[in-house]
Chains A and B, each alone.
Chain A
Amino acid sequence: MFWKKKDFKQTVNSYETEEKTIEEVFNKAKKSSDFTTITPIEKNNNISLSFFKTLVDSKTLQQSLLQNLKENISVVEKVSDLKNIIPIEDMVVTKDPKEIEKALHEGATVIYFKNQMDEFALLKIGNARLGQRETNDTQNEFSVIGPKVGFIEDIGTNLHMLREHLHSPDLIFDELVVGTRTQTKVVIAYIDGVTNPEFVKTATQRLQNLDVDAIFDNTQLEQLISDHSSSPFPLFVTTERIDRTVGSLLLGQVVLITDKSSYAVIGPVNLMDFFSNPEDFYLPSLIASFFKLIRIFGMLFSMFATSFYVAILTFHFEVIPKDLLGPIINSRANVPFPPVIEVLFLEVTIDLLREAGARLPTKIGQTLGIVGGIVIGQATVEAALTSTILLIIVALSALASFTTPIYKMSTAVRMLRYPFILLAAIWGGLGIYVGLLFIIGHLSRLKSLGVPYMVPLYPYRKGWALGSFIRPSFVNLKKRPSYFRPLSNKRYTPTPSQDSEDGLNSE
């Protein structure tokens, strides 16, 4: 929605105050306390260095720049002479105030003569990794086996890791700048000759049309360029795993990487992509398929378990098996609320716990688990606010919702159960059915970068629909999914086994 509106007010690209002269640039910079100007050489008072102390790498400044400058000051008469004496490759000589200002904020040092302010040398000695974390374990997407390395909040490192994992001249990084104030770098990565250029074009166009002041994270960018921003479902996969990113690049998807964000955004994707996990590919296909089915079941269970509880206990007691009738009624006997209030109470409690657990410092988090899980759960049952059976169902469905590998999807599932609970309380089983119709209708309307969200299932793509539910063996994964319209379909050609029938040990 955000990018669409731009169609009729495509105007300014910068809301920064317009600078006119070089003096104004320096005056503005001087307002900040970390802006420093030094005159390092006593004899020649005119030569000055200006930089933001917080941005430059002081080691380079001291050891390469100042040292060489001091030793060879005699040869310098013009700014352009500096090129001969300073061993820093990234050096530009310019007069453009705009360029100088931009370079200053990227960590450059400006060298000039005070008496002749017409030429300026820009030396980029910025320390981009200052303040960045060193470790890059995956924080939120764990896997038991497989690589554990993930992205960090630095675009240079992230791109480096991508290149390192995918040694191919076809891997293209396309850089754009988004955010009128933050000037955040966004890289569109794709594989030339595989990814359909339409996706790259669409992504580029959406990013270019974007008019925002700041981008804090890729997950925010994802919402700004999403096809339906009002949908609860995420329309792009956000991942911090490198193997997942490389894998999707190889399938012909586009990856967005933003500076200062530890998440990569993958698009176009379909609904079932959210239930697959890189670990699926490290386990045997049979086992991986089983766990993938468990995850899909977990999603359905987490969405519908409590609403079915409400519907059955409020309207359709006939479907309760007779041996279960006793325990259910007995556990509900002293509960003063109708099932819907009981369920909402417990569901909100669980969500409070989850939200508190996500905000609390790690050390208190442990305690919270005990307080929430045991004390609150036990106490509500003993205080007859909820029934024991419901407690089990709610706990199970909360557990099931965390099986979804992509966090954004699992939050969507968690949120969607509330409308279902309300519908079940209003119309019983019919209400759940009505809600399901709405969800299916909504899902089949969604698109991710122009590709239908439900794709191998609806519109049905023969041969790919089954792969949404299981993890096919590698022999059957030799082609790229046709619904991503890759330019080359073939990934590899499996060779048949060359072993003899009897095995290698036969006489």
Chain B
Amino acid sequence: MGKRRKGRILVIIFVCIGCLVGCARTKIVDKLSIIHVFGFDLDENGNMVGTALYPEYTKSKSSDKIQYLEEKTDAVALLRPKMSTHTSTPVALSKIRVIVFGNDYAKTGVNDVVERLLLTPEIATNIQIAVSTHSAKETLNSLKKGNLTLADQIKQNMTGQQLPKMNLHVFLNHYYGEGMDPYVPMITIDENDKIQVDRVGIFKNDKLKLHLDEKETFTFSILEDYRTQAIYEIVLDEKDLKEVIVIQGFRNKRKWEWVKDKQQLNLSLKLTWIVTHHPDRFNLENPQDLEMIKGIIKKNVQEDVKELLNKFKETGVDPLGIGNIVRSKDRDWEKTSFYEQYPTLPINIDLNLEIIHSGLQG
């Protein structure tokens, strides 16, 4: 008897399994349009314009057969279903590698996309988020001509070059965190119609406010990154080509100190750098010359840092998270009152430079 009952239970289990299988939606990897880059724009009527690129791996092993999708809706959530009407296979968002905001859209505020799309668990957080100096549509159209390597391009620039490290996770932390503003890498289209990584853009809340120049980006990344390998140039004499000092970052330590009774911040920077090029009149084996060149660099950097901080204060953006730093040291911190005080907040900079070696560097 027991055996028969067991058999019956087994049959029921298999029937259940069979029925439940009907409910599962399979997502077979080669039957999907796996989006690689997603762009967001606004058109004149205030509608969302979503653009997307997906590689057709079924045609080629590398990602050089690229398909382009464009769709207009009034809500972000409708973009994907509408895009699916153009494709033979369902559109899958979960492997998005880069999100590109058009310049105009970034300036009017990206809150809609962040709230409706980027917070869904389907989207990974270790992906790149960038703002284009053009519209996202133009950017994606020029990207389409090449390979889909935008994510690698941005990442490569973060590890090796000027940009501070950034991904969606950090972006969201800065976006929702108290006392800080998000910053993103900017991309642009160069003269050859290729995508170029173009320094850093800074948001105020959800609106793009600042686009730093090269020098400022360098300064920003030494304030933000511990290990940046950015290259920095100091021109001593405009006329003489040889009169430049080129330095490369190696290690940057910083320490913020909040003096509450004076309501001022002390920033001490400890920089360990490499001199890759210097005018011939300096002989770095000579301690006096070394001190001299150090003095020049220090003076320049100090000025740059001061300038950058002033720029932040003037525009009222806080990508360094100074508000957060003060909040962590002062229990009476309050957001509104701090940011009223922020433009006039005195910041003392103490710079300590060490040159570990000189010569050519790759």
Q: A-side interface residues toward B, CB under 8 Å?
A: 312-318, 320, 322, 325-330, 332-333, 335, 338-339, 426-428
Q: Which residues from chain B contact A333 at a C-beta distance below 8 Å?
A: 30, 57-59
Bits for B4-17, please: 1 = Cβ < 8 Å to A, else 0: 00000000000001
Cα A322 to Cα B95 in complex, Å, equals: 8
Asked whether, in the complex, the Cβ of A338 is within 8 Å of the Cβ of B94, the reply is no
Does residue B62 face the partner (Cβ distance < 8 Å to A)? yes
25 A-B pairs with CB atoms under 8 Å apart are: A313-B29, A314-B27, A315-B26, A316-B27, A317-B92, A317-B94, A318-B94, A318-B95, A322-B97, A325-B34, A325-B95, A326-B60, A326-B62, A326-B63, A327-B61, A328-B57, A329-B57, A330-B57, A330-B58, A330-B61, A333-B30, A333-B57, A333-B58, A333-B59, A426-B20
Q: Which residues from chain B contact A316 at a C-beta distance below 8 Å?
A: 27
Report if A326-B55 is in contact (Cβ < 8 Å); known contacts: A317-B34, A317-B92, A317-B95. yes
* Identity of the chain A residue whose Cβ is nearest the Cβ of B21 in the assembled complex: A426
Report if A315-B58 is in contact (Cβ < 8 Å); known contacts: A325-B34, A325-B95, A326-B63. no
Cα A313 to Cα B31 in complex, Å, equals: 10
Q: Kindly identify which residue among A322, A325, A326, A338 contacts B26, using a CB–CB cutoff of 8 Å.
A: A338
Does residue B241 face the partner (Cβ distance < 8 Å to A)? no
* Identity of the chain A residue whose Cβ is nearest the Cβ of B17 in the assembled complex: A426
Does residue B28 face the partner (Cβ distance < 8 Å to A)? yes
Which of A314, A327, A329, A330: most chain B Cβ within 10 A? A329
Does residue B24 face the partner (Cβ distance < 8 Å to A)? yes
Which of B17, B27, B30, B95: most chain A Cβ within 10 A? B30
Report if A315-B27 is in contact (Cβ < 8 Å); known contacts: A322-B95, A426-B17. yes
Q: Kindly identify which residue among A318, A325, A326, A426 contacts B24, using a CB–CB cutoff of 8 Å.
A: A426
Q: Which residues from chain B contact A330 at a C-beta distance below 8 Å?
A: 57-58, 60-61
* Identity of the chain B residue whose Cβ is nearest the Cβ of A316 in the assembled complex: B27
Cα A439 to Cα B14 in complex, Å, equals: 18
Q: Which residues from chain A contact B21 at a C-beta distance below 8 Å?
A: 426
Q: Which residues from chain B contact A317 at a C-beta distance below 8 Å?
A: 27, 29, 32, 34, 92, 94-95
- B residues 78-115 near A (Cβ < 8 Å) are 92, 94-95, 97
Asked whether, in the complex, the Cβ of B95 is within 8 Å of the Cβ of A326, the reply is no
* Identity of the chain B residue whose Cβ is nearest the Cβ of A329 in the assembled complex: B57
Cα A335 to Cα B28 in complex, Å, equals: 12
Cα A312 to Cα B29 in complex, Å, equals: 8
Q: Which residues from chain B contact A318 at a C-beta distance below 8 Å?
A: 94-95, 124
Decide if the interface of chain A is mainly helix, strand, loop or mixed: helix
Interface size of B by CB at 8 A reads 25
Top 10 closest A-B pairs, CB basis?
A: A329-B57, A333-B58, A317-B29, A330-B61, A318-B94, A332-B30, A329-B30, A326-B57, A313-B29, A326-B61
Q: Which residues from chain B contact A426 at a C-beta distance below 8 Å?
A: 17, 20-21, 24
* Identity of the chain B residue whose Cβ is nearest the Cβ of A428 in the assembled complex: B24
Q: Which residues from chain A contact B151 at a C-beta distance below 8 Å?
A: 322
Q: Which residues from chain B contact A427 at a C-beta distance below 8 Å?
A: 24
Q: Which residues from chain A contact B32 at a C-beta distance below 8 Å?
A: 317
- B residues 15-54 near A (Cβ < 8 Å) are 17, 20-21, 24, 26-30, 32, 34
Cα A326 to Cα B95 in complex, Å, equals: 13
* Identity of the chain A residue whose Cβ is nearest the Cβ of B60 in the assembled complex: A330
Give min CB distance, A362 to chain B, whole Å: 42
* Identity of the chain B residue whose Cβ is nearest the Cβ of A327 in the assembled complex: B61
* Identity of the chain B residue whose Cβ is nearest the Cβ of A335 in the assembled complex: B30
Q: B-side interface residues toward A, CB under 8 Å?
A: 17, 20-21, 24, 26-30, 32, 34, 55, 57-63, 92, 94-95, 97, 124, 151
Q: Kindly identify which residue among B28, B57, B60, B97 contacts A313, using a CB–CB cutoff of 8 Å.
A: B28
Give min CB distance, B93 to chain A, whole Å: 10
Q: Which residues from chain A contact B34 at a C-beta distance below 8 Å?
A: 317, 325
Given contacts A317-B29, A330-B57, A428-B24, 13 further A-B contacts (CB under 8 A): A314-B27, A314-B28, A317-B92, A320-B29, A322-B95, A322-B151, A325-B29, A326-B60, A329-B29, A329-B30, A426-B17, A426-B21, A426-B24
Cα A428 to Cα B29 in complex, Å, equals: 13
Q: Which residues from chain A contact B58 at a C-beta distance below 8 Å?
A: 329-330, 333
Q: Which residues from chain B contact A326 at a C-beta distance below 8 Å?
A: 55, 57, 60-63
Which of B29, B59, B62, B95: most chain A Cβ within 10 A? B29
Give min CB distance, A63 to chain B, whole Å: 61
Q: Which residues from chain B contact A332 at a C-beta distance below 8 Å?
A: 29-30
Cα A312 to Cα B27 in complex, Å, equals: 9
* Identity of the chain B residue whose Cβ is nearest the Cβ of A312 in the assembled complex: B29
Give min CB distance, B107 to chain A, whole Å: 31
Give min CB distance, B325 to chain A, whole Å: 36
* Identity of the chain B residue whose Cβ is nearest the Cβ of A317 in the assembled complex: B29
Cα A322 to Cα B63 in complex, Å, equals: 10
Which of A313, A326, A427: most chain B Cβ within 10 A? A326
Give min CB distance, A331 to chain B, whole Å: 8
Q: Which residues from chain B contact A325 at a C-beta distance below 8 Å?
A: 29, 34, 57, 95
* Identity of the chain B residue whose Cβ is nearest the Cβ of A313 in the assembled complex: B29
Q: Which residues from chain B contact A428 at a C-beta distance below 8 Å?
A: 24
Q: Which residues from chain A contact B20 at a C-beta distance below 8 Å?
A: 426
Asked whether, in the complex, the Cβ of A339 is within 8 Å of the Cβ of B28, the reply is yes
Q: Which residues from chain A contact B17 at a C-beta distance below 8 Å?
A: 426
Q: Which residues from chain A contact B60 at a C-beta distance below 8 Å?
A: 326, 330
Give min CB distance, B87 to chain A, whole Å: 15
Give min CB distance, B14 to chain A, whole Å: 11
Asked whether, in the complex, the Cβ of B28 is within 8 Å of the Cβ of A338, the reply is yes
Give min CB distance, A507 to chain B, whole Å: 47
Give min CB distance, B92 to chain A, whole Å: 7
Q: Which residues from chain A contact B55 at a C-beta distance below 8 Å?
A: 326
Cα A328 to Cα B61 in complex, Å, equals: 8
Q: Which residues from chain B contact A322 at a C-beta distance below 8 Å?
A: 95, 97, 151
Which of B32, B57, B92, B94: most chain A Cβ within 10 A? B57
Report if A314-B95 is in contact (Cβ < 8 Å); known contacts: A325-B34, A326-B61. no
Cα A224 to Cα B331 in complex, Å, equals: 76
* Identity of the chain B residue whose Cβ is nearest the Cβ of A422 in the assembled complex: B17
Give min CB distance, B33 to chain A, whole Å: 11
* Identity of the chain B residue whose Cβ is nearest the Cβ of A314 in the assembled complex: B26
Cα A329 to Cα B57 in complex, Å, equals: 6
Cα A312 to Cα B26 in complex, Å, equals: 10
Cα A315 to Cα B59 in complex, Å, equals: 22
Cα A326 to Cα B94 in complex, Å, equals: 16
* Identity of the chain B residue whose Cβ is nearest the Cβ of A318 in the assembled complex: B94
* Identity of the chain B residue whose Cβ is nearest the Cβ of A426 in the assembled complex: B21
* Identity of the chain A residue whose Cβ is nearest the Cβ of B31 in the assembled complex: A338
Q: Which residues from chain A contact B92 at a C-beta distance below 8 Å?
A: 317
Cα A326 to Cα B60 in complex, Å, equals: 8
